Structure formats: structure tokens, C-alpha cells
Amino acid sequence: MVILAHGTEPDPIFFYANRTALTLFEIAAEDLIRMPSRLSAEPMERDERSLFLRAVAERNHISDYSGIRISRAGNRFRIAQATVWNLLDAGGTIHGQAACFGQWTPLERTP
């Protein structure tokens, strides 16, 4: 299972990834925690990703998400049946968003 989380900055930065996520995204933990989460998607996929994350912010949780992501080394993969949710404190303030998924399929590398 891949688990990732990013904060609420204007350009959200990852602050957590489990070992499976680090392996899939081909990145070291110290590099991931400085990386804007939008970079996990290719430029042409970022608008769709942004719309999806806004929907999560409004609904607090969405299941069964799928989309194309890219590793730091440029390897593309499709994620499936991902669950994404808001990270809320006891007062309901959003402190970020987290995602988990256990299904992904490698795709051809972009030129």
C-alpha cells in the first residue's frame, strides 16, 4: 500500500511517504519532503489533479480515484482505487490531504 500526504501551502509540499511510496516514486525521503505534490503528476495531468483535490477539500474524502502519476526518474504509472482524504484536527481545520492506494500499473515512459 502506498501512503502519501501533503500540507496546505499554496503549492502543497509532501511531508510524508511510506517506503512503498518512496520506491514507486523513485525518490529519497529527504527529497520528497521538499517536493511540491503537483510534481507527482505530469504537466498535462495537473489540471485534472487540481480539480480532484479541490473536490476532496469540499467533501473531505473521495474513494475510487484513478489517475496517471510520474516518478522522479520519469517512469509513468496509473494508480487505481485510491482513497484521498483531508487531514483534519478536532476543530475541523484542514492541515493537509493524504492518499493511499494499493494498485498501480506501469505505463510507457514519456519521451
pLDDT digit string (tens) for 63-98?
A: 988 989 999 999 999 999 999 999 999 999 999 999
- Annotate 38-66 with DSSP letters as a single string: GGGS-GGGHHHHHHHHHHHHHHSEEEEEE
For range 6-11, the mean pLDDT: 95
Q: What is the structure's pLDDT at 53?
A: 76
> CB–CB of 21/10 below 8 Å?
no
Q: Which residues pair with 3 in a beta bridge?
A: 100
Q: What is the structure's pLDDT at 45?
A: 78
**Domains in the chain, start-ordered, CATH in brackets?**
2-106 (3.30.450.20)
Counting residues of the chain whose pLDDT is more than 70, the rounded percentage is 97
Q: Which residues pair with 21 in a beta bridge?
A: none
